Amino acid sequence: MLRLMDEKMLYPLKFKTIFKDKIWGGNKIHSILNKDYSPLPNCGETWEISGVTGNVSVVEYGELKDKSLTDLILQYKGDLLGPDIYANFGNEFPLLIKFIDANEDLSIQVHPDDILGKARHNSFGKTEMWYIFQADQGSSLIVGFNKDTNPEEYQASLNNGKLMEILNREVVSVGDCYFIPAGRVHTIGKGLLLAEIQQTSDVTYRIYDFDRLDDKGQKRDLHTEESVEALDYKFHPQYKTNYSIHKNSANLLAKCQYFTTNLLVLDKTINKDYTGKKSFIILICFEGAGSITTSEEKYEIKKGDSYLIPFSIKNLSINPVGVIKILEVYIEI
């Protein structure tokens, strides 16, 4: 691609955090991730890399400081996203990266798939994954049903106050990973801090909200009717991801048409060659610190940082100070 003379060179991009106060949010975004969410009363979510309309990420530093992710895509196209990704998604960034702090249980919810999302909301569906990097003792989450069910049984359980009896609840700990395809009922439980990688979508169908009230004394809206068609009613014998950890190499956590995620546990410098990858790379640090070095410069990375590595950067090194833990994300098409 020919460059205009005044077009700035792409580099590893870190964006300004977008903070979201939530009825169920806590203070771990500050106490553990060292992010200042004031003047919000709490922070349930941070959006680290987002192309969602109204919540588009803005570059934090460097020559492209204050440029929005949308502006960068318009300007750099395939050099930023990868030519194949740009051909598929155009000017819409395909992933949303979050940290989530659940001080209370989130609502029981489900997300539509691409077909339903497009028909109802002109949106992508929402397949996602969670990686839990802090958990209070005894914390749990809900994922899927605990037996095969159907729309009639589900609605009867919901109407009779017995929904919890057919849902699968699991006690979780640090390092647990869950892949949540669109259609799978779920909720993040009290006491969990996690990274969420998902399709670019902000569509959630809230099924049950534990009858709690918002700051105005009102119950939040439920999406009972919308959920029925969106749900996968099948029981799955294994919800938690089984994976192995080998230091200083990529450990696969999730692989689907929307994203691939690897866990990197590094105690020495490693060189990454992304020549064979067809998309941008995202690096999400959730423990430790170090640096990312390209042929041009060195960039500090620490717990709570997320970097978007443009497609045009094919080689870099990750240099830990002690041990650093990173989620490595890209799209394979």
The model's pLDDT over 147-194, given as tens digits with 9 standing for 90+, comes to 999 999 999 999 999 999 999 999 999 999 999 999 999 999 999 999
Q: Is 13-230's fold the same as 250-330's?
A: yes
Sign of CA dihedral 201, 129, 279, 230: negative
CA 319 – CA 1 distance, rounded (Å)? 31
Percent of all residues in the chain with a pLDDT value above 70, rounded to a whole number? 98
130 Rama class: left (phi>0) / alpha (psi -120 to 50) / beta: beta
CA 108 – CA 216 distance, rounded (Å)? 21
Sign of CA dihedral 93, 9, 79, 127: negative
CA 102 – CA 43 distance, rounded (Å)? 9
CA 64 – CA 67 distance, rounded (Å)? 6
**In angstroms, what CA-CA distances link 85 with 29, 40, 183, 278, 284?**
32, 36, 25, 7, 20
Tell me yes or no: is domain 250-330 CATH 3.40.50.300. Answer: no
CA 266 – CA 248 distance, rounded (Å)? 5
**In angstroms, what CA-CA distances link 244 with 69, 116, 170, 175, 177?**
34, 35, 20, 11, 12
Catalytic annotation, pick one of 184, 206, 212, 220: 206
Average of per-residue pLDDT across 299-322: 98
pLDDT at 62 over 90: yes
Grade residue 2 by pLDDT with cuts at 50, 70 and 90: very low
CA 293 – CA 308 distance, rounded (Å)? 14
Residue type, position 215, single letter: D
DSSP-assigned letters across all residues of 198-243: EES----EEEE-TT-B-TTS-BPP--HHHHHHH----B-S--BPP-
DSSP H/E element including 120: helix 114-121
Q: Domain boundaries in the chain?
A: 13-230, 250-330
Identify whether 212 is a catalytic site residue.
no
Which residues touch 198 (CB under 8 Å, ≥6 apart)? 95, 96, 98, 126, 127, 128, 129
CA 97 – CA 142 distance, rounded (Å)? 21
pLDDT at 4 over 60: no
Q: Can you identify the CATH homologous superfamily of domain 13-230? A: Jelly Rolls (2.60.120.10)
pTM listed for this prediction: 0.94
Q: Position of tokens 């080689």? A: 315
Grade residue 305 by pLDDT with cuts at 50, 70 and 90: very high
Which residues touch 239 (CB under 8 Å, ≥6 apart)? 143, 144, 168, 170, 178
Q: What is the pLDDT of residue 173?
A: 97
DSSP H/E element including 158: helix 151-159
The model's pLDDT over 109-145, given as tens digits with 9 standing for 90+, comes to 999 999 999 999 999 999 999 999 999 999 999 999 9
